[in-house]
Structure 1
């Protein structure tokens, strides 16, 4: 997730937990009411404590299918579709991690080199020592930089710079010495955004677009420029609100989020179908060297999380690799397996009052879909 309570809760709940054009099977097809009964029930359970709607897109190397519950626009009958756009929150982190690891593969960045070498003076003061925090620590959330409710200094136009986000994050004292424990923190990935910009000389969003999004043909995926709060159509509307039994109240927040508030930790927008394609391409080795992919997938000694990837152990055996995302209006998860199974699902509310229950229902639906394709 991109907010204070953090995406690390997925990991806790789970108990551990050269670019090429991607060619996928045919797009999602309609399903009969009796199809995917177990996954449909799991998606309905997720939506029942989530937003007005929820959608799921899944498949394997032979084809794809989709399910929907509720509505993507409150007060209307608009089932969520695989091509509908939404804010993906911390799924952005996996794109950022891939961009960093592509620089590693090119010999421009070393995982175990101190961040001070690349960004002199940035991680310094308030108990921090950039010579003790490595690139790997940042990618794996073992830097000691704690999670925090963001309160950075805005620019006059209401946008935020990566430098301002990082200063805000580092204003909080370290949670532990680097490499000794794990705490999920947006600041880690905002520092990595600065690293990407320093090494490439380009805005981080342009790097992710040119080196990850475009080579895979993910035409419905965007890293918005600061100030661009729009969401491409067709769009799933995002809501904030509460549920109390059968009663609920929703406030539409689709266009209220300033994406630069989360930047390289959570700014991106996409669709279920594009996200499923991205994670499948990643685990298939179409983006990184084998060594870098293995590093992404491998938990650390003090971390249940890899380098920008979570592990989802499946009840039918095996493991899927993916990431969760949450920003005001949206909660989502996408993952893929090495044998070609993939899933992406979302609901259009961050469900702040029952997030752990929602995450549990969400990963249960994802697991059901992946096991159906086993």
Structure 2
């Protein structure tokens, strides 16, 4: 899947992960499975929907109870839209763009954040997440993820899946 086969930003914006997954019936593959790698935001919406179906919880609730709470990330939450993020975050930094080496404030787009975005956090809370990442899934003497899961999470896709880096493989 790729933006070439489903230009997400040009589609009507969903309000739930279920709607995003349903909207993918309009998508078409741009390469045979396993032959190319493309970062594609809706893939994370699909994964978020899988979490919802398997857990029986909304994605935001699952993140809160299974990631943010065990890591004591008390100032972190997941928002579905930028409007929701702006309502809940007490001191949300404004977005910026750079043009000709000059930064200027620019409001964030009010798009669906779903499973590919929407985590609003603080530097202190993100430090806790980084501790988990750098300690093989352990945080404050509690093993939250197995070392093998952490290793898999940190393993990039096979190089043959990156056609922009040379040979496409066989």
Fold in common (TM above 0.5):
yes
Is the 2:2–2:29 contact (alpha carbons within 8 Å) kept by the matching residues of 1? yes
Match of 2:12 among 141, 153, 162: 153
Whether the 8 Å contact between 2:85 and 2:120 is mirrored in structure 1 is no
Structure with max Cα Rg: 1
Q: CA deviation at 1:303?
A: 4.7
- Alignment partners' CA distance in 2, 1:235 and 1:191: 27
Q: How does 1:81-92 map to 2 (within 5 A)?
A: none
Structure holding more helix per residue: 2
RMSD: 2.5
Structure 2: state its 5+ residue gaps. Answer: 139-143, 163-170
Task: Say yes or no: does 1:268 pair with 2:123.
Answer: no
1:298 — aligned with what? 155
Report the counterpart of residue 228 of structure 1 in structure 2: 84
Q: Which residue number corresponds to residue 213 of structure 1?
A: 68
CA distance 1:274–1:172, shift in 2 (3 Å): same
Per the alignment, residue 29 of structure 2 pairs with 174
What TM-score results when the alignment is normalised by the length of structure 1? Answer: 0.36
After TM superposition, give the deviation of residue 184 of structure 1 in Å. 0.4
Query: TM-score with structure 2 length normalisation?
Result: 0.74
Question: Would you tell me which structure has more strand in proportion to its own residues?
Answer: 1
> 2:132 is matched with which residue?
281
The answer to which structure, 1 or 2, has the higher relative contact order (CA under 8 A, 6+ apart) is 1
Q: Distance in 2 between matches of 1:303 and 1:288?
A: 27
| Pair 183,237 (structure 1): closer, same or farther in 2 beyond 3 Å | same
Alignment of 1:88-107 (within 5 A): none
| Separation in 1, partners of 2:24, 2:54 | 22
Distance in 2 between the 1:245 and 1:264 partners?
Answer: 32
Q: What do the CA deviations read for 1:207-236 (whole angstroms, capped 9, x no partner)? A: 111000011101111112556142523332
Deviations 1:37-62 (A, max 9, x none): xxxxxxxxxxxxxxxxxxxxxxxxxx
Q: Compared with structure 1, are the counterparts of its residues 235 and 153 closer, same or farther at alpha carbon in structure 2 (3 Å cutoff)?
A: closer
> Which digits, 9 at most, give the CA deviation of each residue in 1:86-139, with x for residues without a partner?
xxxxxxxxxxxxxxxxxxxxxxxxxxxxxxxxxxxxxxxxxxxxxxxxxxxxxx
What secondary structure sits across from 2:77 in the alignment?
coil
| Pairing partner for 2:58 from 185, 191, 203 | 203
Unaligned runs of 5+ in 1: 1-144, 305-374
TM superposition shift of 1:187: 1.4
Describe the SS at the equivalent of 2:91. Answer: coil
Structure-2 separation of matches of 1:265 and 1:283 = 22
Is 1:165 the counterpart of 2:16? The answer is no
Paired residues of 1:150 and 1:168 also in contact (CA < 8 A): no
**Is contact 2:79-2:118 (8 Å) kept?**
yes
The alpha-carbon deviation at position 242 of structure 1 amounts to 4.5
Contact 1:150 1:165 in 2 (8 A): no
Please say if residues 146 and 184 of structure 1, whose CA atoms lie closer than 8 Å, have aligned partners that are also in contact: yes
Aligned residue-pair number: 150
